[in-house]
Amino acid sequence: MKDLVRIANGQGFWGDSILGPVRLLREGPLDYLTLDYLAEVTMSILQKQRSRNPEAGYATDFIRMLDRLLPEIVEKGVTVIANAGGVNPQACVEAVLEVAARHGCKGLKVGRIEGDDILDRLDELRASGEELRNMDDGEALDAIRDRISSANVYLGAAPIVECLRRGAQIIVGGRLTDPSLVMAPMIHEFGWSMDDWDELASATVAGHILECGPQCTGGNFSDWRKVPDMARIGYPIIEARPDGSFVVTKHEGTGGLVTRETVSSQLVYEMGDPSAYIGPDVVADFTSIRLDPEGPDRVRVHGVRGRPPTDTYKVSISYRDGWKASGQLVISGPDALAKARLCADIVFERAAMDGVEFPEERKTVEFLGTGVCHRGIVEAPGDPPEVVLRIGVRDPDRAKVARFGMEIVPLVTSGPPGVTGFAGGRPKPQEVVGYWPALLSKDRVEPRCTVVGG
């Protein structure tokens, strides 16, 4: 058993900087590199891509990253764990093997985790008594059944641990929970069982701290003036110990800041009941967390308590929920706000003249520069020198949304003076993705682990 394991996260979301994993690999020692690519809406986008191309449906940025770094990863013996498989882990693994062959990385073992995608099983599951009602309002799935585009279970750490046990150095899964990417190496390296609740809870906390990348090392931090060299902000690393405690840190010499405050800020991110942070493997009590500064850019986390998990998995279901379009114009002063209000009125009046109307709840009108980000908290300026008009609609009828988009550009010549800042053409209708959270009995899901190569 190792006495210390270094685990880092180099991707907080699909679209995060490629420099995250590059720098983590090159700027200091590392045992595990985790990469979190998925969000709820991402699954629907990937499912749509796969419906058009059977070889698509995974995070292609992951493959580009490996193409750049795989020889170094293999040479340094770093294990990579990612949920980049999206809705097509098999195609993603095949792409990984192609990269390995191209770089001459022989003997590389790649793990594939499946079983989270239940899109094709929805009717079977409902027939067996699984209602999959909306967790927020209890609505029956019938309300959206014919519009569902993806359905994925949030899997935990166990299948990742199995891939590690079989010697995989690159592990790819679909909708693995964000913390599980970090939990699995700790379970594997320290020989914990899946009912060591306090240790699993501590690993969950570690994963939660790391999951958003540098958001725990000074990114998005309220006291941002104290954060040095943010351009070179260090991505987070934990130094984990067998007792479940760990230190949050970053590579020496990098920018950013690791303090009790930066770590605390990330801990409350997306938090519901802090005494019951529910994951597929354990329920963690965040009120039991103890944070102790341990020198510059080092915070020790310990004392975390956990209890057994629930008997259900959370399911992320996305569905087609109509269409939207929005556009922006810059309105310059004098009287910028008054002119912007008139522009918004003109757009909707002209659309109505052509038989296209929208109820108020399906309209969006914002005047950026008048305090809309902190409305009710900060005093709005009386006469701003310029205003950005942001105007949009949402509707089940695509044609109505498209017709609305045609009335924004004409304001340049048929509205009040001072209208500028328009570029990119008229706004086009975009499909709205709705989110439907549900619960599913764990005994109806069988995660599958496959290791290839070697």
Q: Mind listing the pLDDT tens digit for each residue in 114-128?
A: 999 999 999 999 999
Residue 424, pLDDT > 80, answer no
- 3-state DSSP assignment of residue 72: helix
Would you say 92 and 85 are in contact if contact means Cβ atoms under 8 Å apart?
A: yes
What is the average per-residue pLDDT within 318-336? Answer: 95
Count, residues in the chain: 454
Return d(Cα 410, Cα 284) in angstroms, integer. 55
- In which band, very low, low, confident or very high, does the pLDDT at 371 lie, cut at 50, 70 and 90? confident
Residues 6+ apart with CB under 8 A from 101: none
What is the enclosing helix (H) or strand (E) of 307? strand 305-307
Distance of CA 338 to the CA centre of its chain: 39
Return d(Cα 69, Cα 74) in angstroms, integer. 9
- Please tell me the pTM assigned to this model: 0.93
Residue 38, pLDDT > 90, answer no
Tell me how many helices (H) and strands (E) the chain has.
12, 19
Average pLDDT, the chain: 95
What is the average per-residue pLDDT within 53-82? Answer: 96
Return d(Cα 87, Cα 94) in angstroms, integer. 14
Please work out, in degrees rounded to the nearest 5, the angle formed at the alpha carbon of residue 283 by the alpha carbons of 114 and 183. Answer: 50
Q: What is the pLDDT of residue 252?
A: 96
pLDDT digits (tens, 9 = 90+) for 24-36: 999 999 999 999 9
Higher pLDDT, 426 or 121: 121
How many CB atoms lie under 10 A from the CB of residue 362? 16
Domains of the chain: 5-116+154-310 (no CATH), 321-435 (3.30.70)
Q: What is the pLDDT of residue 43?
A: 81
- In which band, very low, low, confident or very high, does the pLDDT at 449 lie, cut at 50, 70 and 90? very high
Least trusted range by pLDDT, from 47-51, 88-92, 226-230, 261-265: 47-51
Return d(Cα 23, Cα 171) in angstroms, integer. 20
- 3-state DSSP assignment of residue 179: coil
Residues 6+ apart with CB under 8 A from 382: none
- In which band, very low, low, confident or very high, does the pLDDT at 374 lie, cut at 50, 70 and 90? confident
Return d(Cα 83, Cα 399) in angstroms, integer. 37
Residue 44, pLDDT > 90, answer no
Residue 415, pLDDT > 90, answer yes
pLDDT digits (tens, 9 = 90+) for 112-164: 999 999 999 999 999 999 999 999 999 999 999 999 999 999 999 999 999 99
